[in-house]
A and B are shown apart, each in its own frame.
Chain A
Amino acid sequence: MQKIRNLISLFILLLTTIIVQAQEGTAKTGFGETMRSSGRIYVVIAVILTILIGLILYLVRLDKKMSKMEKENP
């Protein structure tokens, strides 16, 4: 479980570097191109999704904590 969690956090950190790369790149790369098209609406989507996923991960953590507490107090 811990391993999977570490892998997921690593993956998310890697994703952020891609976004940073795309920002600094010459916008010729595929991802940078997509992020800059349609009035850069994809950037907004990325921001909202980050907030949403952050909140959901927080909820998942609370849920796990509750399950643990319930197990300790049967």
Chain B
Amino acid sequence: MANEKNYMYKSWWKILSVILLVYTVIAGLLFKIPQLPALEETIRNLYFHVCMWFAMMILFTISVVNAIRYLRTLNHKYDIYSRQFAVVGIVFGLLGYATGAIWMSYTWADPNNPAFESFGALAREPKLIGAAIALLIYAAYLVLRDSIADMDKRARISAVYNIFAFAMLFPSIWIVPRLLPSLHPGQEGNPAMNYKDIDAGMRIVFYPAVIGWTLLGVWITTLKIRLNLLKEKKMMG
């Protein structure tokens, strides 16, 4: 497998990822931002918190593509790809959740200010519930996988489940949260992609940040894939 020189073994995109991330940190903390009430400097979290979700969605998409490739070819390589992309996607989702929790604690809620919502009301945010459902469905993917001992059966069932999990992303994070009233931005259209809801000065940091964080996620995933390919090869012979 090592002589098969695909993108996993190239280094240019890893270097690109590092450059973009360093740029994100420096430009993200220094560049001009629009002055908004309540948000103030925390809008800079857009370059970190939102990027986690973008990276998660892209990793899940790569995962489902590889699940379909597995079902079409029954090549175990794609099963390994699919699983590892899903795992790293979950990690990015959890990071997005954690950073969102910190951000909302200081912008949506303020125990000293009666004008703000209580934490109980915040827990009913449709976006939070939707994201939690999506992540739990993906967590179930891992549980399902590891409960099946037979390799072929495991690969096939989990590939089918992966497609279901990806399909559930649509209602849980893209449709239902946008139909319900919410404090979370991005109610109308695609959050951070809409030309109306993001300042032009922030775009020049935000888009490179999305690419940088996603490439970092892909890099981590390829390392896990390479390890598992090696493990499988050792087991086979």
Q: Which A residues fall within an 8 A CB radius of B?
A: 41, 44-45, 48-49, 52-53, 56, 59-60, 62-63, 66-67, 69-71, 73-74
Contact = CB atoms under 8 A, between A and B. Distances in A.
Residues of B contacting A: mostly = helix
A59 B219 contact: yes
Contacts of B223: 59, 62-63, 66
Contacts of B198: none
A56 B29 contact: no
Contacts of A62: 223
26 contacts: A41-B29, A41-B30, A45-B25, A45-B29, A45-B30, A48-B29, A49-B25, A49-B26, A52-B21, A52-B22, A56-B18, A59-B223, A63-B14, A63-B223, A66-B223, A66-B226, A66-B227, A66-B230, A67-B2, A69-B230, A70-B1, A70-B226, A71-B2, A73-B233, A73-B234, A74-B3
Contacts of A71: 2
B220 interface: yes
Contacts of A63: 14, 219, 223
Interface in B104-126: none
A50 B14 CA distance: 18
Interface in B1-18: 1-3, 9, 14, 18
Nearest to B48: A48
A56 B18 CA distance: 7
A59 B223 CA distance: 9
Contacts of B14: 60, 63
Ranked 10 nearest A-B pairs via Cβ: A70-B2, A66-B226, A48-B25, A45-B29, A56-B18, A62-B223, A49-B25, A41-B29, A66-B223, A52-B21
Contacts of A60: 14
Contacts of A59: 219-220, 223
Contacts of A44: 29
B13 to A, nearest CB: 12
A41 to B, nearest CB: 6
A73 B29 CA distance: 45
Interface string B108-147: 0000000000000000000000000000000000000000
A24 B223 CA distance: 42
B8 to A, nearest CB: 10
A67 B21 CA distance: 24
A63 to B, nearest CB: 6
Interface string B216-237: 0001100100110010011000
Nearest to B226: A66
Interface in B200-230: 219-220, 223, 226-227, 230
